[in-house]
Amino acid sequence: PPHYPPHPQTQHSHYHPHQYYPSYHQHQPQPPSNHRLGYNTDRPTYLFSLPTTDSQSLSDRQCYIRSTFIELFLATAEDVLSRPAKGSQRIHLHQVGIRCAYCVDNNKDAKQKLLQELQHPRVERAVCFPQSISRIYQTVADMQRRHFEKCARIPVQVMGTYKSLKSTRPRGKGKPQGYWESSAREIGLVDSDMGI
């Protein structure tokens, strides 16, 4: 697997580095060999970014979203029970989801979580479960428009950096959607009858 640089901890100063517990994964699906661990500690999470190639195909703003705003995770039994939808909207155990890295309640009791929700209500599209790899690009675009632009939990400094970055991509490098799909497969994601 490629060598990844250290996490940009200055961008997530209120997070602790993710601790990877091998014993936890003895009875869990194994992550792909080509992955970077996410920032949050409530469950195993992984970053979507590929620092060595993202900037060749994506805008600076999309690179920042992939490295800083979103995390990949596997749906738990609790996630499945909390979203009892039917048909295509139904989620399955161990299905890959995408979430806002800042809308996670790490190490907080019920009272602290309630206080945070009252002070900074979580806006829509904080957590999404795209049904296929081909839907990831549009899912993140929806999160960008309907969540990140409105999320009060994202620090002002981080949002300032996001807004200062260019939204135009490098020329002659193919379509962004194609890169999102190919990079998803590169980190080990695959389509199945039960989502990604």
Q: Is the pLDDT of residue 83 over 50?
A: yes
Span 88-145, pLDDT tens digits: 678 999 999 999 999 886 555 555 555 655 555 667 899 999 999 999 999 999 999 9
Integer angstrom CA distances of residue 118 from 61, 122, 133: 30, 9, 35
Dist CA 144 CA 192 (whole Å): 26
Span 174-195, pLDDT tens digits: 789 999 999 999 999 999 999 9
Does pTM surpass 0.85?
A: no
Supply the DSSP symbol for 128: E
- Burial code (b: 16+ CB inside 10 Å, e: under 16) for 10-28 equals ebbeebeebeeeeeeeeee
Cβ atoms of 122 and 103 within 8 Å: the answer is: yes
Sign of torsion over alpha carbons 10, 12, 21, 132 = negative
Sign of torsion over alpha carbons 154, 2, 98, 23 = negative
